[in-house]
Structure 1
Amino acid sequence: MEEPPRNPKFGLLKCPFALREEVIGNMDFMDAFHFSTLSKRSKQMVRKARYQIDFIKFRFEENIKNDRIEVKIKNNDWLKISMSDSNDPPVRDPTMIDGLKLANLIDEPSDDYRKKLSAHILSIFHFKSTHVHLERNIEHLDDLFLWDIRKQFDCVEVCLSRCDDISPEDLQLVLNNLVSKSYLLEFELNDSSYKYQKPLKYCESLDVRGSCQWLDPENILQRNPQMKDLNLEDLPGEQVNNLLKQWINGEGIGLESMGFEISWYNGIDYPDNVIFDGIDTMETKLTEEQANRMIVIWRHRGRTVDIQRKTDGRFATVHLCHSGCYVWMWHTKFFRNIMQIRSVPKIKKTVVKR
């Protein structure tokens, strides 16, 4: 009696590592994910293949039912995975992949499917940039299913709606526990007297919108010596002046730019005598063409001057206009490229009379 034909086995496990890595690296994201759930060995294979992905963002929405993971996969396509609370009814966005179903494919114990799925994705794929986006108040770290998995990110965004505000305690909970290279913060604080004075560990870029009155700018460059880009909206002119002086007096060695934008609805302005009070300014060394290459803001009517640090003699260019105050430090690679631009002499046309 003939034996029934056996199902052919998937032979990738027997292939040389270089070939396995090439095959896995050319899989689609979901194919690689499903392959990683077949066994412990397949999971290790995907991890060792170092499958590269540009971007992942964990979004905690205003309504917990809309929580999701967004992944930028190949060809600039976006993949969205629903991560709503497992206690909610299983009504999920049909345009998203159901995270609960994906988590059920992972043979690992967990009391929260979101933690299990997030841990699996972060362990097998290699992301160039990992972001967290918060649109609701986080009163307890347990509200962040990421907390038990990862505490350091490339960017943390806290963007609450105008009708919501945040307490100093909740703000400290986020800023003191989620370590990030970059912060984008837009919210209102419910305590106008509170000032945040702690250093933001590892922060290289800080962008505060809406209201920055909760942030104490005094000695902020000293508290955050690794800071490269600082952008604060609607900062009072006297505090802008203070920050310029902090840089002039030697703080912020690695600082590359500062921006102090004025929101259109605020109606305030930055007078020259306030911004440059007690600061020695000089005519900018930039040509008009070099200045125009810097940024579109430069084309607005305003005043452009250079300032110099007292400690090492480095220069920075300050542009003051109706939309705000913008500062660029000369030691950056971008600025060095700008300085290499020379104005092209205009060729005088000769008119031949006939």
Structure 2
Amino acid sequence: MSAKEPPAKNFPLLSLPDLAQKTVMDIMKVLEKYKLSTLSKRSRKMIKMSCPLGSYQLEILASSIFICFNLSDPRENDQFDEMLILELREDDDTFPPFQEGAIVRPHQNYQETVPAEIRLLFEVFNKPVTRIFLIEHTPLIEDITRLMGVLEHKLTLVCAGTGRQNDQAFMQVMQQCNPVTKRLEMYYDINQGSTFDLTNIAPFTYDQLLISNSQWLSFPQIISHFMDCKHLHLRWFREESNGLPAFLERWMEGCAMEHVNFSIRWPIQLRMILEEMRVEHTVVDVSDYKIPNREIFKPREQPPAPPITTFIIRRRCNGQETLISQNGFQFFLSTNCRLLTEEEKLNPVEDFTDWDLSQNPFNGVMERGENFRIVGGGGGGGRVVVDQNSDSDDWGGRVDTDDSDSSGW
């Protein structure tokens, strides 16, 4: 490994010396020993660790949500270069909002190590990695989609782009990912005024699809190409509300869509629309209902507020009861809702969002577990030392580089 070229700019984890790789794996195995998934979601806690790897500094951020490896040269004034960030979840049904501050920009030749990196995490944690984050990844998309096609795990691919050729890359990713993954989140700066011709494109069949910049979409395009997406979340959707009745009519006839959320350009008279469609509906108190994945449908352009209009409507195709609500410009539909039990009403569960965690990521401690330290570390080596006698409950996940120094904190 050349001293002039940080390995993070060439190859990530697998390019490190053997001892450095062992150090990282030891840290990860300790994290697994304390079961990251046992962290209370309501605690919003995170672990931060750092240790030297030769002339470089390795920083690991870990929570029950994701693990991020950063590698930097402390002799430089540059920020940490993100090497890899993967999300680990045991509940594959969750679809949390992706926070823009947690993205990673792949380095050159990244496609050569992504498969090995992901499989390495599979082996260490023995659980699925549920999300892969990529930015400016157009040259890599074929490698990533090929990898996702052969993996047996369910993966959400999170893609973002900020370059001039976003429009072409955006539709390329949308098409190529559809056959190999059922969960896709798209964060692209679509050029203002851009339009996409979907005539020769097959309808999308994602289980979960989030598009952060959907101003190019229209109701006819949603009806023709997105009705078989089970969970659809459109941000900055600015279509006129007069297209909503046609969308609801198509949905009432039968489709795979279970959840949808979008904004429209003008406030809607939802009651009037439903009455004109002769839809059987009943006004209910939304606070009495349990709505899975409701966190992803909180308005992003305005402060959250109780829905102005809420209905339970009966679907024509199968008689299924569905919650529909309107909050100003926001429209929300969910087929997977149910009345809260008396116990749930008395003991409400606090909602958890990644946003809350990202606002204060380094304040947490492990709820239980022994202290551990990384000792040694010179020349990329090191070993994990677990303090079996520690009774402290205030453990911050610190990795000490020696017996007296606690660099990185």
TM range (shorter): 0.5 to 0.7
Amino acid at match of 2:254: G
The offset of 1:164, in angstroms, is 4.4
Amino acid at match of 1:280: R
Indicate how the Cα distance of structure 1 residues 279 and 325 shifts in structure 2: closer, same or farther if over 3 A, else same.
Answer: same
- Asked if residue 245 in structure 1 is aligned to residue 243 in structure 2, the reply is no
**Contact 1:165/1:187, CA 8 A, preserved across alignment:** no
Would you say how many aligned residue pairs link Structure 1 and Structure 2?
256
Structure-2 separation of matches of 1:288 and 1:98: 43
Indicate the residue corresponding to 2:260 in structure 1. 258
Indicate how the Cα distance of structure 1 residues 250 and 124 shifts in structure 2: closer, same or farther if over 3 A, else same.
Answer: same
TM-score by length of 1: 0.54
The offset of 1:94, in angstroms, is 7.5
Deviations 1:158-197 (A, max 9, x none): 2334x745233x2343223333232222324454243374
Percent identity between matched residues is 12
The offset of 1:244, in angstroms, is 1.8
TM-score by length of 2: 0.48
Question: Secondary structure of 2:322's match?
Answer: strand
Q: List runs of 5+ in structure 1 lacking aligned partners.
A: 1-26, 35-48, 55-69, 84-89, 100-109, 345-354
Indicate the residue corresponding to 2:222 in structure 1. 217
**Contact 1:165/1:189, CA 8 A, preserved across alignment:** no
Taking CA–CA contacts closer than 8 Å with sequence separation of 6 or more, which of the two structures ends up with the larger relative contact order? Answer: 2
Amino acid at match of 1:257: H
Indicate the residue corresponding to 1:31 in structure 2. 26
Structure-2 separation of matches of 1:171 and 1:257: 23
**Contact 1:186/1:208, CA 8 A, preserved across alignment:** yes
Larger radius of gyration: 1
Alignment of 1:14-25 (within 5 A): none
Question: Secondary structure of 1:245's match?
Answer: helix
The offset of 1:217, in angstroms, is 0.8
Indicate how the Cα distance of structure 1 residues 92 and 98 shifts in structure 2: closer, same or farther if over 3 A, else same.
Answer: farther
Alignment of 1:1-354 (within 5 A): 30-31=25-26, 73=62, 78-82=67-71, 114-115=113-114, 117-118=116-117, 120-122=119-121, 124-125=123-124, 126-136=126-136, 138-139=138-139, 141=141, 146=144, 149-151=147-149, 154-161=155-162, 164=164, 166-168=166-168, 170-178=169-177, 179-190=180-191, 191-195=194-198, 197-201=201-205, 203-214=206-217, 216-220=221-225, 224=228, 227-233=229-235, 234-236=237-239, 237-252=241-256, 255-262=257-264, 268-272=266-270, 276=274, 278-284=276-282, 286-287=284-285, 289-290=287-288, 299-300=305-306, 302-329=308-335, 332=336, 335-338=337-340
Indicate how the Cα distance of structure 1 residues 342 and 204 shifts in structure 2: closer, same or farther if over 3 A, else same.
Answer: closer
Amino acid at match of 1:219: S
Indicate how the Cα distance of structure 1 residues 300 and 287 shifts in structure 2: closer, same or farther if over 3 A, else same.
Answer: closer
The offset of 1:206, in angstroms, is 1.4
CA RMSD of aligned residues (A): 4.8
